[in-house]
Structure 1
Amino acid sequence: MSTTQKVFSEKIKAKTRELGLLDCGISRAERLEEEKPRLERWLNQEMHGEMGYMARNKDMRLDPRLIVEGAQSVISVLLNYFPKEQQHDSEAPVLSKYAYGKDYHFVLKDKLNALLKFIQDELAPCNGRPFVDSAPVLDKAWAAKAGLGWVGKHTNLISVEHGSFFFIGELIVDLELEPDTRVVRDYCGSCTRCIDACPTQAIVAPRVVDARRCISYQTIEQKGELDESLQGQFNDRVFGCDICQDVCPWNLKSEAHQEPDFEPHPQLMKLTLKEWQEMDHPLFNELFRKSAVKRTKFEGLKRNLRFIERASSPGESQSPEE
């Protein structure tokens, strides 16, 4: 590897820090051979549910050179979203922490586009594309390959330094850079806190999540009505779920983000149970105008609210043990 490629890699990492990113790692753009059997087994067991896009473009998902012509390097970045405050009303429906502020797809993609422009203007001419959950890219696999962490038993990437409350994005470029050689070993050990804590038993084996049972999938991806067999098991989660991350000991390392775009609407954190239940369309639009919650739409959020309200109503449902 030439001195120039090493210098380029160092300057790229320095720029990511300037952009407010948590960490950065670089990998060679090559086929992810180890991921293929795991992906195929998961798809064959239909654990992706209605997420049909997961079964499409499998070859692209495994080889970034099929997405970006001439790709030579995958730059993986992390962006912290751990919030400064939690929802005030302990009885209110629970919103996933990642959805408090502006939709991360836009925030992180803007930073990756700024990084690409920096590379093109300051380092070398190149072509590249940013990716934030928007194309067939296995972000956790690439981040692990770049030495940013390991994939925990809950299937989220865990960083030794930062825990797991962060977004992952990639910039795939046709520029040869010095790849990171750090390999982070699996520090989960014998811990099963995430598996034990999942109220719907969606983590069916270490590093295997049946999306159909996952609260995040049900409240965001699921079309139509929610799975009645999971009634009473959502623990008041109305959009997304953080339970498996909340119980992870590595998240004792989490520190509040410094990203202005992730600051919640002033009214959001103060919403009471009654205000959630009585939310109308105008209030929904006001609170979630730029939020990821818009994905489920007003009707979807009301559906989720009805589902957890029924679980808390006497005589409406029973726990699986009853």
Structure 2
Amino acid sequence: MQLVKEHIARLIKDEALRLGFDDIGFSPAEELSEEKAHLQQWLDNGYHAGMQYMSNHFDKRVNPSKLVEGAKSVITVLKNYYPDHTTLSHQPPKLAKYAYGQDYHEVIRAKLSSLFNYIQEEIDPELQGRFFVDSAPLLERSLAVRAGLGWIGKHSLLINRKLGSFVFIGEVVTNLELPYASHRMNDACGGCSRCIDACPTQAILPGRTVDANRCISYLTIENKDAIIPEEFREKMDGWAFGCDICQDVCPWNRKAQPNTEKAFAPSPQLKAMQASDWQTLTQEKFSKIFKGSPVKRAKLSGLQRNLAFVLNRNK
């Protein structure tokens, strides 16, 4: 039986890599008991800021089996999104690397759909399950750790030894029985504190915890307030949408290889943006430049708020 499971796992892995995923692992669909208390403490401390949805569906968030009846396994995939260094200017205003190209939700969802169909058609016609990419209350990084795909860094992000931390995570929660990771990837952060030291707003706390109230990514994306707190004006480092500082300084990203996904490349319009263009964005220009982009999450009003703040135009 174990040999059959190993064979099935190999078929799934080969297909996942063929579809363009960069790594894959398997874990049991069961309660994440170790992470449950940590999540509750994070919520109790108010570190989720205005992201009230993080406190919703708590039981499902810490137990993937509650998302699919009869679920036995979680298939976790990683997709590298590290860009070519020459992709965009590093001068303000800056965008987080994950937002350079098309919305990763759509790109990865399509690949997960293909993977799910393959398993159903070629391996198990009675396959049942659901696939997700930031679309369900799941502790994705914890599931990736359990699948042997990495460890949680001090910046609270997943780090994979080969890929670094610039990775998207997706899952298939299914009733298929699979062989699970026999061991977890060792935590290799050691005594390094570069991400903590580099964070200009001191958002990274001990215990691999991030206070979203102080995180530049939260302040420029999820934050729906009309203004950004004045205390952060000189600390934004030019970031207008998201922030990569803690990842950029991480030694595990020194050897990160540029991704090969064409959909993650910035559009010619975005690459052509000059400083003056950012200051004269209209709704028409915004819709054209960021069509299908994660930046649309902030809407034009949110991006204009951020631009005014980080470029000190509303002092």
**TM range, normalised to the smaller chain?**
over 0.9
Q: Distance in 2 between matches of 1:255 and 1:56?
A: 36
Q: Is residue 97–residue 244 contact of structure 2 (8 Å, CA) maintained in 1?
A: yes
Q: Counterpart of 1:126 in 2: which secondary structure? A: coil
Matched, 1:5 2:5: yes
* TM-aligned CA deviation for residue 87 of structure 1: 5.5
Q: Is residue 93–residue 311 contact of structure 2 (8 Å, CA) maintained in 1?
A: no
Matched, 1:309 2:311: yes
Q: Distance in 1 between matches of 2:68 and 2:35?
A: 19
1:266-303 deviation digits (Å, cap 9, x = unpaired): 12123222211122211111111000001000111001
Q: What residue in structure 2 maps to residue 238 of structure 1?
A: 240
* TM-aligned CA deviation for residue 6 of structure 1: 1.3
TM-score scaled by structure 2?
0.96
Q: Distance in 1 between matches of 2:91 and 2:66?
A: 48
Q: What residue in structure 2 maps to residue 62 of structure 1?
A: 62
Q: Distance in 2 between matches of 1:26 and 1:152?
A: 20
Residue among 262, 265, 273 paired with 2:264: 262
Q: Counterpart of 2:26 in 1: which secondary structure? A: strand
Q: Distance in 2 between matches of 1:133 and 1:269?
A: 27
Following superposition of structure 1 onto structure 2, how do residues 86-101 of structure 1 map, counting pairs within 5 Å?
Answer: 86=86, 88-101=88-101
Q: Counterpart of 1:267 in 2: which secondary structure? A: helix
| Residue type of the alignment partner of 1:61 | R
Q: What residue in structure 2 maps to residue 290 of structure 1?
A: 292
Alpha carbons of 1:118 and 1:90: their partners in 2 closer, same or farther (altered >3 Å)? closer
Q: Distance in 1 between matches of 2:91 and 2:44?
A: 39
Alignment length (residue pairs): 313
* TM-aligned CA deviation for residue 88 of structure 1: 4.8
Q: What residue in structure 1 maps to residue 51 of structure 2?
A: 51
For structure 1, the residue ranges without an aligned partner over 5 or more in a row are 317-322
Q: Is residue 194–residue 249 contact of structure 2 (8 Å, CA) maintained in 1?
A: yes
Give the RMSD, CA atoms, in angstroms.
1.3
Q: What residue in structure 2 maps to residue 320 of structure 1?
A: none
| Residue type of the alignment partner of 1:173 | T
Following superposition of structure 1 onto structure 2, how do residues 267-278 of structure 1 map, counting pairs within 5 Å?
Answer: 267-278=269-280
For structure 2, the residue ranges without an aligned partner over 5 or more in a row are none
| Residue type of the alignment partner of 1:158 | I
Q: What residue in structure 2 maps to residue 184 of structure 1?
A: 185
Q: Counterpart of 1:8 in 2: which secondary structure? A: helix
Q: Is residue 88–residue 271 contact of structure 1 (8 Å, CA) maintained in 2?
A: no
Alpha carbons of 1:90 and 1:120: their partners in 2 closer, same or farther (altered >3 Å)? closer
> Percent identity between the aligned chains?
47
Alpha carbons of 1:90 and 1:164: their partners in 2 closer, same or farther (altered >3 Å)? closer
1:236-295 deviation digits (Å, cap 9, x = unpaired): 000000000000000012101111111110121232222111222111111110000010
Q: What residue in structure 2 maps to residue 229 of structure 1?
A: 231
